[in-house]
Amino acid sequence: MSFRLDAAVIITCNAAEFKQRLFVICDDCFWCASAINTQMHHIDTCPQCRKAVSSLPLSTDEAYRYNYTPGRGVELEFYSLRK
């Protein structure tokens, strides 16, 4: 089984509204999400398995690709949205 997620989130509202954007991933089951407004929702446990999650900060012009395969595990690719 293989999963692939391309997530390019472009923020078009006032940057002051969003203090920090995060990529959040579960260390155990690899559930993941983009946390856009961490002031409203702080994610520290996985909603699937209730174990700890890790957070990576993302800039407003950064996106990522997430790929999971049983043989290789989780692959993350971060890239800039600037052209």
CA dist 30 → 1, 63, 78, 82 (Å): 14, 18, 17, 28
Domain boundaries, the chain: 3-80
pLDDT tens digits along 5-52: 444 444 444 444 555 788 888 989 888 888 776 565 677 889 899 999
CA dist 35 → 2, 15, 41 (Å): 23, 15, 8
What is d(CA 51, CA 63) in angstroms, rounded to the nearest whole number? 25
What pLDDT, on a 0 to 100 scale, did the predictor assign at position 8?
A: 45
What pLDDT, on a 0 to 100 scale, did the predictor assign at position 82?
A: 81
